[in-house]
Copies of this chain bind each other. A is one copy, B any other.
Amino acid sequence: MAPRDTFKKLEDDKQLRIMDAAIDEFADHGFKQASVNRMVQKIGIAKGSIFQYFGNKEGLFHFIFNHAVELVRHSLRQVKQETADTDFFQRIEQSLLAGIRFIEKHPRVYRIYLKMIFQEDFPLRTEFLQQVHLFSGEYLKPLVETGLARGELRPDLNVDMTVFFLDALMDRFLQAYCVSFLDAGAGLYQAPEEQIQQKVNEFIRLLRAGMGKPEGEFGQLLRE
């Protein structure tokens, strides 16, 4: 599960090369189809070494997985802090943008995430899905509750369902972005970078229209 001391004692460069090759392999092939043979060949070390470091293939995956979770946690914590004082829709916008930046910085990690969602035979799949689920609860729910308390959201919104919708919409937005980013050249959506901000804007505008508090007393009246 945790890498053996052996691995942690390696020179940093070697550690990084190993992690890099592993992330590559898992991102390209998922867990079962990933080949330790290919990894060690790419890294240029003996086959036995990987097993000395991580016990077995699953141990290696655990390590990469935990590393990825840490990356995501770090990124989310940062956004939450930095946007504490802005309004609900700005926070969502910044979260989306942070997600996009994360994918651009760690596209292979995101690919592993996507594979895990829809591939049944990952070792940590259940724990993983619970973690993802917790994200909605821990991250989005407070945002929604604060937004409601501050009067930035329509007061008739059901909290849990709103969280579900936000989770679904944001996740799918990033999926769509990621697919177009990763498949660049495959012709799908052909989303050029410059249109991203525009799409984010439109996304937020729709959210605001659907969830935001009606502006002014007329809006209020109309909805009642």
- Shortest distance from the beta carbon of A155 to any chain B beta carbon, whole Å: 14
- Shortest distance from the beta carbon of A188 to any chain B beta carbon, whole Å: 5
Q: Say whether A206 faces chain B, with CB atoms less than 8 Å apart.
A: yes
Are B176 and A175 closer than 8 Å at their CB atoms? no
Bound-state CA distance A28–B32 (Å) is: 13
Bound-state CA distance A182–B33 (Å) is: 23
Interface size class of A (residues with CB under 8 A): 35 or more
Q: Say whether A119 faces chain B, with CB atoms less than 8 Å apart.
A: yes
**Beyond A33-B33, A115-B118, A222-B215, is A168–B172 a contact (Cβ under 8 Å)?**
yes
Are A133 and B187 closer than 8 Å at their CB atoms? yes
Which residues from chain A sit less than 8 Å from chain B, CB to CB?
A: 28-30, 32-33, 111, 114-115, 117-121, 126, 129-130, 132-133, 158, 161, 164-165, 167-169, 171-173, 175-176, 179, 183, 186-189, 199, 202-203, 206-207, 209-211, 215-216, 218-219, 221-222
* Contacts A/B (CB < 8 Å), 26 sampled: A28-B120, A28-B121, A29-B120, A30-B30, A32-B33, A111-B118, A114-B118, A115-B118, A117-B118, A117-B179, A130-B186, A130-B187, A130-B188, A132-B188, A133-B188, A158-B202, A164-B189, A165-B202, A167-B176, A168-B169, A169-B172, A206-B211, A209-B211, A216-B222, A218-B221, A219-B222
